A and B are shown apart, each in its own frame.
Chain A
């Protein structure tokens, strides 16, 4: 009972110091929502539509106009100009005014009628692959529907009955399905990762400072010399952050579900469990890091700078198998890797225990490791200021002593 009271006391103190530092409380409480609001505005559509393209029609016949109509009807493409020559397309591409140029060659209609092979060439901007892939999809769609149409016309031309032609064309059908994300929505793909970056960064920004701050203000000694156990100090200090992290994550995911229509196919309980274990790992990690940092500035910088490479290493976007051999296993060391894997499996693939059990196990082992590391580092820090140590400040700080007496 006394132990619980101790923990609650420290937690309350930490809560007060979060609230006292206006900037910190803004970071801890608001930054997550700021980030995710911003990211929401970025990815809210999730689909890339109306890509600006230029079409060069060198044929000017009903058939070529028909093709242009097909291009215009595709909702991924938006024809913004009709240059005269393909050279102009190059200039437009270079100036980022269009992202693709489609050129219909001369004698287009004549060649189709005489059964000559015809090539409509599409040049897409490869500098941003998101554009390129979407353009390719659009072109494949147009190609397919146009090809079938022309094929049907030629077959009818050979004297075949239209119904038979239709059957023939339908006989081989390749159907492609994008499982879990049928509309190729980028928001579904990336938003979860951004949630994890934002939650983790803001939590570490708060938590990573807890000991650094005490050390900087010289108030650490009050904890060090108190009769409380290492575990109590640790638990009390991380408790507020733990709860804030869980609350933030919960609110953000609910918001994403409600406003961005993020899929949520699996069990919410399982998702919550994964986040709970992850949060424990990350707050203990933050506490541990902060025990090594001498001042707040240092801790902040290190935490912020390594967030992005950490997420890139996780294999959430670029697959682990295609990374440099040294980095392949680096991602396995970060809790975020396992969290993101499990969260995606649960939300998008309705994965159950059989799929995410392994992730939860690894996260628990990590959490255990970080918690014990954090507790040991508390012990190490306390030893530094224990009465037996010669580096102890001269005036013995009791419960009533001020922070200023310690140098």
Chain B
């Protein structure tokens, strides 16, 4: 039984069809990397899964929460799906701890004392227990991104979406964020990542999904995908990313 089930997803911006019928199933505990060139639709696909992008056709199902085109109540879906962004998007007027505590208090109406404990645990998990009272602009990019991960974790999502979460980081800060993601993967969190970190994708993910021009061109285990690409597009893409 799949935790995430995408069926026939179509998405257009005006005349520009960016997703042309996507079917994808993700099982519990699976770690999936979406790879492909920019403009291939991978970020858009990820953003449809928690309703940040509305779909024109198809259906999204996450752990029993369904979304159809035009549906406006996305609460049930979003309670199951966490998201971490390229630009961190921490709330600048709140401390790290307050960033993590906000949604559980406001959305889930949990008591502040309980949420404080949850937030401390979440920040400890990303290695930032001592930064509870620091403001985002007092933290490095890597630390901010780890707070963002903790903020998402505090809502106890069933699946987490990571949208190029290391792309805005200085190279020396990438690893501390990837280490956290690796730890989550090892603990059995279901993860969908859009990433350009091919080495990381290869090591940590159990499935690679290669997208090309709004379609899933190939998917499979990383070794298979990397060593035996079936399509010329993927072969070319691998050539491009491994040259670096």
Q: Is this pair of chains taken from one and the same complex?
A: no
